[in-house]
A = this chain, B = another copy of it.
Amino acid sequence: MRGAQALVGSLVGAGVDVCFMNPGTSEMHFVQALDDVPEMRGVLTLFEGVATGAADGYARITGRPAAVLLHLGPGLGNGLANLHNARRAGTPLLCVVGAHATGHVRHDAPLESDITAVARTVSGWVHTSGDVRDVAEDAMRAVAATSERGGQVATLVLPADVSWSEGGAVAAPRTSLPPEAPCKTRVEAAADAVTRPGAVVLLGGSALSARGMDAAGRIAAATGARLLVETFPRCWDTGAGRPRVDKLGYFAEHALAQLDGASSLVLAGARAPVSFFGYPGVPGDLVPDGCAVVGLADAATDAAAALEELAATVAPGAVAVAAPLDAPAPPPGPLDVRSLCAAVAASLPEGAIVVDEALTAAAALASALQTAAPHTQLALTGGAIGHGPPVAVGAAVAAPDRPVVAVQAEGSALYTLQALWTQARERLDVTTVLVNNSAYAILRVELARTGAGEAARSGRAGRMLDLSDPTPDFVSLATGLGVPARRAETTEELLDALRWARSEPGPHLVEAIVPPLG
């Protein structure tokens, strides 16, 4: 058995049965093995950033790693931004990077580069498989490593000759360690903190499941503690029927106002809050002076279970206050960010997965979705844009029975728009609501906030933040990639387009035109 066959066979045995890929010459035997191991589903992408983002989205929904198959150092480079986001999400992800044959490395051929140096910047585990007899076992170690530390990227470098040589054998899966159980000492400390006036519980990571949210809601109902959700949740069960919780603001001033007066901050699956960027004269650490920080559950701990233990201590018999299903009809007329988000919320199918790369529209979106039908939100955990379209691919592959609605800023979409092609090929149920304001609008805000000044839209600096001249036409772009698309300039048109998207199978894109900021 060739190494590639042993590898692919072992992966499906370990439950890794989806591989998002951009193969090249050194990966041809892996590709060929798809014909031998039909349990492995290969999903082709047109760019590596789509493959890595899709694997992130897939694992966020299933809790299991997908594999990605990349071509040497440059392929890894192309996939790096979304591996960064996966690292920040704590996503279990198996990254297989094909490499030159062992005997070919010495020739320093054009595609040779330092793969492991790049891989280490995003991976918790990196290994180069050196022998066909080891490759399947190495892969099993890699799969097990993806679940360590609460979830991480494991990178297996796969030389072409290890793939093509005979002598491989399927290896048995290794036992993956479950998340750590809650620590009783921490639960007691959190119980003490959360029952004092002015307590805030910051929810993140594995706390954001329906189970964790319900426990948090009971804690809040019993103690009066305020709940907040981290700014960029990896996978958040929210909407009607679940506790209504605000997200911590993106801008430091907003977050500081939300945390103002907190006597204690209980961290459940979330890290202590810090500012996304540093700004002149603005603190990076957002914890108010004098506020006690109590870690209930870190990334490696089952935060939902920790919240349930905390609820059992401080809120026996309490009932969470659930958000009502109340998505008001959006105001008619020309679209703006607020009416756009209201339209998305009002038409959201129950059980949808919402992929949020809305950037300047994200706050309005989060607000509108609080009383929308129950759904799951996936956000941009690492700040590396170009995340949304690929994550939508992975989420839709993970949950073919759940509609995926991606609310997507245009500038970010243009990083990884190739994802639409994979949505078309795989007939994925994804509706992309493309928010087009013809600018890197978030940067126009940031230019002022950093004190750099106000850039005239037509000035030399301002043009670097402007996406008009020419304004990309996303209906054309989506159609060119095989995804049916429409443009909406009014609320009525958007609602109509969303109905159209839901009325037929497969992916759709609705380009929603909103006014430029500022």
**Extra 13 A-B pairs, beta carbons < 8 Å, given A80-B118, A111-B384:** A21-B464, A31-B455, A31-B461, A31-B465, A34-B460, A34-B461, A35-B461, A74-B384, A164-B450, A164-B451, A476-B479, A477-B481, A480-B480
How long is the Cα–Cα vector from A29 to B480 in the complex, in angstroms? 37
Nearest B residue (CB) for A477: B480
How long is the Cα–Cα vector from A85 to B107 in the complex, in angstroms? 17
Contacts of A453 in B (CB 8 A): 32, 35
Q: Which 4 A-B pairs have the closest CB atoms?
A: A470-B482, A77-B80, A104-B278, A476-B480
Contacts of A38 in B (CB 8 A): 460
- Does chain B have a CB within 8 A of A394? no
How long is the Cα–Cα vector from A478 to B349 in the complex, in angstroms? 34
Please provide the chain A residues from 111 to 141 with a CB less than 8 Å away from any CB of chain B in the complex. Answer: 111, 113-114, 117-118, 120-122
In contact, A113 and B117 (Cβ under 8 angstroms):
no
Chain A residues within CB distance 8 Å of chain B: 21, 23-26, 28-29, 31-35, 38, 42, 44, 46-47, 49, 73-75, 77-78, 80-81, 84-85, 88, 100-101, 103-104, 106-111, 113-114, 117-118, 120-122, 160-161, 164, 232, 274-280, 284-285, 381-384, 386, 411, 414-415, 418, 421, 424-425, 442-443, 446-447, 450-453, 455, 459-461, 463-467, 469-477, 479-482
Cβ-neighbour of A464 out of B44, B446, B455 (below 8 A): B44
How long is the Cα–Cα vector from A425 to B160 in the complex, in angstroms? 42
Distance in angstroms from A170 CB to nearest chain B CB is 19
Given A77-B80, A84-B74, does the pair A277, B160 have CB atoms closer than 8 Å? yes
Cβ-neighbour of A25 out of B88, B415, B443 (below 8 A): B443
Nearest B residue (CB) for A120: B117
In contact, A104 and B447 (Cβ under 8 angstroms):
no
Given A113-B84, A160-B278, does the pair A47, B472 have CB atoms closer than 8 Å? no
In contact, A88 and B73 (Cβ under 8 angstroms):
no
The quantity of this chain's copies bound in the complex is 2
In contact, B28 and A450 (Cβ under 8 angstroms):
yes
Given A100-B277, A278-B161, A481-B470, does the pair A121, B110 have CB atoms closer than 8 Å? no
Given A77-B80, A113-B84, does the pair A47, B414 have CB atoms closer than 8 Å? yes
Given A109-B275, A284-B109, does the pair A415, B47 have CB atoms closer than 8 Å? yes
Cβ-neighbour of A109 out of B80, B121, B274 (below 8 A): B274
In contact, A232 and B421 (Cβ under 8 angstroms):
no
Nearest B residue (CB) for A442: B25
Distance in angstroms from A272 CB to nearest chain B CB is 9
How long is the Cα–Cα vector from A75 to B84 in the complex, in angstroms? 11
Contacts of A384 in B (CB 8 A): 74, 77, 111
Contacts of A480 in B (CB 8 A): 472-477, 479-480
Distance in angstroms from A90 CB to nearest chain B CB is 12
Given A411-B46, A461-B31, does the pair A382, B452 have CB atoms closer than 8 Å? no
In contact, B117 and A32 (Cβ under 8 angstroms):
no
Contacts of A164 in B (CB 8 A): 280, 450-452
In contact, A35 and B460 (Cβ under 8 angstroms):
yes
Contacts of A100 in B (CB 8 A): 277-278
Q: Which of A110, A275, A279, A453 has the most C-beta atoms of chain B within 10 angstroms of its own C-beta? A: A110
How long is the Cα–Cα vector from A84 to B80 in the complex, in angstroms? 14
Nearest B residue (CB) for A411: B46
In contact, B107 and A113 (Cβ under 8 angstroms):
no
How long is the Cα–Cα vector from A137 to B85 in the complex, in angstroms? 34
In contact, A77 and B88 (Cβ under 8 angstroms):
no
Contacts of A450 in B (CB 8 A): 25, 28-29, 160, 164
Contacts of A75 in B (CB 8 A): 81
Contacts of A101 in B (CB 8 A): 277-279
Contacts of A278 in B (CB 8 A): 100-101, 103-104, 109, 160-161
Nearest B residue (CB) for A42: B464
How long is the Cα–Cα vector from A74 to B106 in the complex, in angstroms? 30
Contacts of A466 in B (CB 8 A): 44
Contacts of A482 in B (CB 8 A): 470-473
Distance in angstroms from A483 CB to nearest chain B CB is 8
Contacts of A103 in B (CB 8 A): 278, 284
How long is the Cα–Cα vector from A42 to B285 in the complex, in angstroms? 34
In contact, B88 and A81 (Cβ under 8 angstroms):
no
In contact, B383 and A274 (Cβ under 8 angstroms):
no
How long is the Cα–Cα vector from A451 to B80 in the complex, in angstroms? 30
In contact, A111 and B31 (Cβ under 8 angstroms):
no
How long is the Cα–Cα vector from A472 to B232 in the complex, in angstroms? 33
How long is the Cα–Cα vector from A74 to B118 in the complex, in angstroms? 11
How long is the Cα–Cα vector from A411 to B418 in the complex, in angstroms? 11
Contacts of A35 in B (CB 8 A): 453, 455, 459-461
How long is the Cα–Cα vector from A114 to B83 in the complex, in angstroms? 13
